Amino acid sequence: MSTVPAVMPTYSRVDLSFDRGEGAWLLANDGRRFLDFASGIAVTGLGHAHPHLVEALTSQAAKLWHCSNLFRIPGQERLAQRLVDGSFADSVFFTNSGAEAIEAALKLARRHQHVVRGETARYRTIVTRNAFHGRTLATVTAGGQAKHVKGFEPLVEGFDRVDFGDLDAARAAVTEETAAILVEPIQGEGGIFPAPEGYLSGLRRLADEHGLLLILDEVQTGVGRTGKLFAHEWDGIIPDVVAIAKGIGAGFPMGACLAREPYASALVAGSHGSTFGGNPLAMAVGNAVLDIILAEGFLDGVSARGADLIARLDGLVHRHPTILAGVRGRGLMIGLVCAAPNGVVLNALREQGLLAVPAEAGVVRLLPPMIIGEAEVTAAEEMIDRACVHLEREAA
């Protein structure tokens, strides 16, 4: 008799399951109600069962699920054009996930150097320590964290790792074999570390000087999470390629690789593809997400609620210094730095009815849906306060 569970044990799961979601709230099968500040790790950015998304998906499901990329897909063309109109990009390749979007970006960079520029020796990518770019063999190599790569060696060749935020180190890492730079505007899984001021613009200059592609991983930061459509807009730079996922599907699995024209043109018919990427169901959801995200005032609201939440968290850090040590982040991508072990804090928050996400560097990530209002911010503040009081009493 097998001792391996039917579901392969690749996750350390909490003994909790959910029956349904309503906006920012999740209702568990045991009757408990949770305020969802995890959002499926920054995925359900518009909350649960949003009426506009439900209507878009069910309407499409009643008409056509899949036809493959052998044929034109009107919803795909519309979503691509909207992303192009709202961004730096000239063209979009749709995927099923963020990892696939990063893979597409890495392949695009190599192919641009090899085919368009004739630089066949250029294949290496400069990446940063403490990063996370996905779970495929290439993307775990790009992320480079020991816990993600152990046992999967030999890893994919072609990544040179430098400290996040260190421009001099990035400059020193450039060789005649370098094709691209890949970086997150805010390191998410690594502990919510925003790029230092001037870092992304410095990487932009470095890429221009050496003919490199600047690739941004906006899988977690993109599609409104920081209060702008893309986080790099805060830094006023124009990247060459950006990978997105999570928020653009709001819970439906999809991603995209956005690129400027000189680079996008490197991928031609037959050079790259996806069976499911860009299918009618995903495109219906993606377009519905943009209907909401791009509505006048929505992103300003995300910024305002993020600033309010960060201010209240600062107050909690001041009141509970043995439990909380600081707050960092942007918009509604917030890291609560813990003085106590972050796993202990996370469990205490859950006991109070608040769901959050762990990260490296002793951080609890707060990634609420972007539809939250003052009532949810107040509820979260009260839950965190009660969790801290409980932990303080336990330690006394």
C-beta separation of 51 from 45 below 8 A: no
275 annotated binding-site participant: yes
Q: What residues contact 292, with CB distance under 8 A and at least 6 apart?
A: 46, 50, 52, 298
Q: Is 364 annotated as a binding residue?
A: no
Cα–Cα distance, 310 to 336 (Å, whole number): 9
Please check if 145 is assigned to a binding site.
Answer: no
Contact call for residues 89 and 232 (beta carbons, < 8 A): no
What own/partner pairs with CB < 8 Å and gap ≥ 24 does 359-362 have?
A: 359/188, 359/189, 359/190, 359/191, 359/192, 359/335, 360/130, 360/145, 360/189, 360/190, 360/191, 361/130, 361/190, 361/191, 361/193, 361/337, 362/191, 362/325, 362/337, 362/338
Q: Per residue in 176-216, pLDDT tens?
A: 999 999 999 999 999 999 999 999 999 999 999 999 999 99
- Rounded to two decimals, the pTM is 0.97
| Per-residue model confidence (pLDDT) at position 89 | 98
Token pair of 280 as six digits: 């009618």
Q: Tell me the pLDDT of the chain (396 aa) as tens digits.
A: 789 999 999 999 999 999 999 999 999 999 999 999 999 999 999 999 999 999 999 999 999 999 999 999 999 999 999 999 999 999 999 999 999 999 999 999 999 999 999 999 999 999 999 999 999 999 999 999 999 999 999 999 999 999 999 999 999 999 999 999 999 999 999 999 999 999 999 999 999 999 999 999 999 999 999 999 999 999 999 999 999 999 999 999 999 999 999 999 999 999 999 999 999 999 999 999 999 999 999 999 999 999 999 999 999 999 999 999 999 999 999 999 999 999 999 999 999 999 999 999 999 999 999 999 999 999 999 999 999 999 999 998
**Residue whose entry in the numeric block shows the structure tokens 């609420």:** 368
Residue 85 marked as a ligand binder = no
Domain 64-294 matching CATH 3.40.50.1110: the answer reads no
Q: Is 38 helix (H, G, I), strand (E, B) or coil?
A: coil
Superfamily in which the 18-46+298-395 domain is placed by CATH = Aspartate Aminotransferase, domain 1 (3.90.1150.10)
pLDDT, position 290: 98
Q: List beta partners, residue 265.
A: none
Dist. CA 253–CA 212, nearest whole Å = 30
Task: Determine if residue 120 is labeled as part of a ligand binding site.
Answer: no
Q: On the CB side of 318, how many CA atoms lie within 13 Å of its CA?
A: 6
* CA–CA dist 16, 22 (Å, integer): 17
CA gap 213, 390 in Å, rounded: 50
Instruction: Say how far apart CA 162 and CA 200 lie, in whole Å.
Output: 14
| Domain residue limits, the chain | 18-46+298-395, 64-294
Asked if residue 274 belongs to a known ligand binding site, the reply is yes
Please write the tens of the pLDDT for every residue from 319-352: 999 999 999 999 999 999 999 999 999 999 999 9
220 annotated to a ligand binding site: yes
**389/123 Cα distance (integer angstroms):** 53
Largest CA distance in the chain: 67
Query: Do 112 and 93 touch, CB atoms closer than 8 A?
Result: no
99 annotated as belonging to a binding site for a ligand: yes
